[in-house]
Amino acid sequence: MHTVCGHAYDDYIHMVRSFHGAAAPGMLLGGYMVDLGLQNISQGQIFDAICETGQCLPDAIQLLTPCTVGNGWLKILPLGRFALALYDKYEGFGVRVSMDHHLLRNKPGIKEWYYKLKPKKEQNTDRLIQEIVQAETGLFRVESVRIQSNLLKKSSMGPTGNCPVCGEGYPIQDGRMCRACQGESPYVLHELHAAEK
C-alpha cells in the first residue's frame, strides 16, 4: 500500500476522518498534493504555506505539515484555485502544486466532481475515489514560485487596549474601537446587549 507524506494510506484516511470529519475527495487530492510539494522542497527546510482555496485543502496542509492557521504558518487566500504553495519564509522561494486539467482527460469521475458536472448525489463517488487513489501524485502540476515580499512580512497586531464600547481587548491599530464595535460583529443579540448598557 502506498503512503501519503510517510503515513500508510489507511492511516492517512483515519487522520482525515478524525480531523476533517469525512474522507472527502478534496482531502485525498490534498494529501497527494502536500506529498508532492514536500518532495520538491529541500529536506529539512523550514517553510510556510499558502492555500489558494478555503475548501478541504487547508486541512490537508494542517494535518501533514507544521503549518496551521492558528500558528500563522498557513495563509488561506480566497482565490478559488485548488492549489497550494510551500515556500521558505524569508526569501519566499518555493514550490506550487495545482490541479492540472490536462491530466484529467481519462478521469471522468474526477472531472465530474471538479467541474460539478452533476449534482453531488448523482456523482459516482466510488469511481471518483478510485481514480484519485490510482493516480496518487499524478494529477498535479508543480511550479517554482516566489512569494511576493509583502506576504512574507509577519503582521504584528501591535499594542492591545480595551475597546471603549465592548470593553474587550483589541489591537489599537484597528481604530478607536474594535472592529466588531465598528460594525463587523457577527452577532445579533450581542449588539442588543451592547446597546442596552
Distance of closest approach, residue 82 Cβ to a second copy, in angstroms: 6
Contact track, a second copy, 129-158, x by CB under 8 A: --------------xxxxxx--x-----x-
Distance of closest approach, residue 44 Cβ to a second copy, in angstroms: 16
- Residue among 1 and 148 whose Cβ is closer to a second copy: 148
Among 5, 20, 31, 109, binds a second copy (CB under 8 A): 20
Site for a second copy in 63-92 (CB under 8 A): 66, 68-73, 75-83, 85, 92
CB-based contact 171:162 (threshold 8 Å): no
Rounded distance between C-alpha atoms, residue 130 and residue 138, angstroms: 13
Instruction: Give CA torsion, residues 58, 59, 65, 71, to 10 deg.
Output: 70
Residue 78 grid coordinates = 480566497
Q: Which residue has the cell 512574507?
A: 152
- Residue among 129 and 194 whose Cβ is closer to a second copy: 194
Q: Kindly report the length of the chain.
A: 197
Helix axis angle, 57-64 to 9-20, nearest 10°: 120
Contact track, a second copy, 158-187, x by CB under 8 A: -xxxxx--xxxxxx--x---xxx---xxxx
Site for a second copy in 21-40 (CB under 8 A): 21-22, 24, 26-27
- How is 46-94 classified by DSSP, letter by letter? -EEEEES-SSSHHHHHHHHSS--TTTTSEEE-----SEEEEEETTT-EE
Sequence-distant (≥ 6) Cβ neighbours of residue 45 within 8 angstroms = 88
Stretch that binds a second copy, among 4-12, 34-42, 53-61, 122-130 (CB under 8 A): 53-61
Stretch that binds a second copy, among 6-14, 34-42, 62-70, 127-135 (CB under 8 A): 62-70
123 secondary structure, DSSP code: S
What is the maximal distance between C-alpha atoms in the chain?
64
Distance of closest approach, residue 121 Cβ to a second copy, in angstroms: 15
- Residue among 89 and 101 whose Cβ is closer to a second copy: 101
Distance of closest approach, residue 141 Cβ to a second copy, in angstroms: 9
